[in-house]
Amino acid sequence: MKQLLILLVLLPFLSSAQNTFAPLGAEWRYEGPSEWNSTILDCAGNNLRYIVEDELTIDNKNCTLIRAYHSTNLDTSWRSRDSLIVWQDEKKIYFLQDSSFLLLFDFGAELGDTIIRYDPYRTVSFSGTQYDDSTTTANRMELIIAEVDSIIVDGDYRKIQHLVPTDPNSGYSGDSVMENIGSMSQNICGDYFYYVANGCDGSGFLCYADSTIAFPEQGCDFTDSVATIPLVDFSIYPNPFDSFIQIDINNSSYTSSLSDINGKIIIQQKNKSHLATENILPGIYLLQIRTHNKIYSKKVIKI
């Protein structure tokens, strides 16, 4: 009985001390949009890697520090960039901007809820909006949750919020955010502005892993010396697709795999350009093409 009472007293403190978002050692990988590079006749590449490297206390708040790393197709070594300090208060995630904590994500929000969130100010690897020279504060965004999905990650249901601006004339685009993981778009905090299409859009979110979970199931188990980059003379069509996916690639040795949003591999084959997809359900999938030293990932939609 005495042991039970001690456990009941400690339980609130134990649960509040555990970060479910950005625990120490967590890692994300993204492929952002880049410029076309005429020298290599390919996209220049914009590969982003985020790692939680430190725990610290600020104003009695238990925070973690996320460090960003960057590589390109021309320089595949990971180079340190900027960092972001985040704090979790139940299901809300805040980031430190100057001396204030501003809302980044609200994982507890439901369908139809309006969220007032902010974009990290002028941080190359974390900013999801555009800043002009006259801006001196973090951009404020008013977003509504237009749709909510639920998926299973390592046996637990995770909510995905699909957000759109409440004002269609705001100039911001929408984003999709996975509970306790973050944005599914071009960087960990999300991208809320439109890109000029040039064929180098990037695949967006690639993977997440920490000490307890991995998404997709292989996690971020890539060779560090090889960036996840687009392949030369590579294309897939149609997308969205129905009964098949066609792969055009100038490489005779490769493996293609199609995984669902839970990370389960649905189709896997070697050196075949035609994927028959008549028997899979409509939804969002991840198509990966692997050669001996490169990986290409693309979100595809079955209609």
Mean pLDDT of 269-290: 87
Which pLDDT belongs to residue 197? 55
Number of CB atoms found within 10 A of residue 112's CB = 10
Q: Cis peptide before 168, with omega less than 30 degrees from 0?
A: no
Which pLDDT belongs to residue 232? 43
pLDDT beyond 70 at 283: yes
pLDDT beyond 70 at 193: no
Which pLDDT belongs to residue 13? 41
- CA dist., res. 277 & res. 131, Å (int): 43
Mean pLDDT of 43-50: 86
pLDDT of 4-18, one tens digit each?
444 444 444 444 445
Which pLDDT belongs to residue 286? 78
Mean pLDDT of 260-268: 78
pLDDT beyond 70 at 186: yes
Q: DSSP states of 202-259 as a string?
A: --EEEEEE-SS-EESTTTT---TTS---PPTTEEEE-SSBSSEEEEEES-SS-EEEEE
More confident residue, 217 or 143: 143
* Vertex 122 angle, CA 118 and 124, to 5°: 110
pLDDT of 194-244, one tens digit each?
555 555 666 788 899 999 998 887 677 654 433 343 434 567 888 888 999
pLDDT of 71-128, one tens digit each?
987 788 899 889 999 999 999 999 999 899 999 999 999 999 999 999 998 788 998 8
More confident residue, 132 or 49: 49
Alpha helices in the chain (DSSP H): 2-17
pTM of this structure: 0.68
Measured CA to CA in angstroms, residue 230 lies from 156, 293, 295 at distances of 32, 12, 7
Which pLDDT belongs to residue 150? 80
The torsion of the CA quartet 149, 152, 156, 158, rounded to 10 degrees, works out to -30
More confident residue, 199 or 264: 264
Strand 244-249 to strand 255-260: parallel, antiparallel, or no bridges (unpaired)?
Answer: unpaired
Question: Which residue, 49, 95, 106, is CA-closest to 72?
Answer: 49
- CA dist., res. 79 & res. 83, Å (int): 12
Mean pLDDT of 249-260: 81
Q: Which domains does the chain have, with CATH numbers?
A: 22-215 (no CATH), 234-302 (2.60.40.1930)
Contacts within 8 Å (CB) and 24+ apart, 14-18: 17/62
b/e sequence 27-56, b meaning 16+ C-beta within 10 Å: bbbbbbbbeeeeeeebbbbbbbbbbbeeee
Residue 295: band (very low, low, confident or very high) from pLDDT cuts 50, 70, 90: low
Question: Which residue, 160, 153, 220, 166, is CA-closest to 190?
Answer: 160
Most confident of 54-58, 191-195, 245-249, 253-257: 54-58
- CA dist., res. 277 & res. 113, Å (int): 36
Calculate the average pLDDT of the chain: 81
Cross-strand pairs, 163: 145, 175
Which pLDDT belongs to residue 7? 40
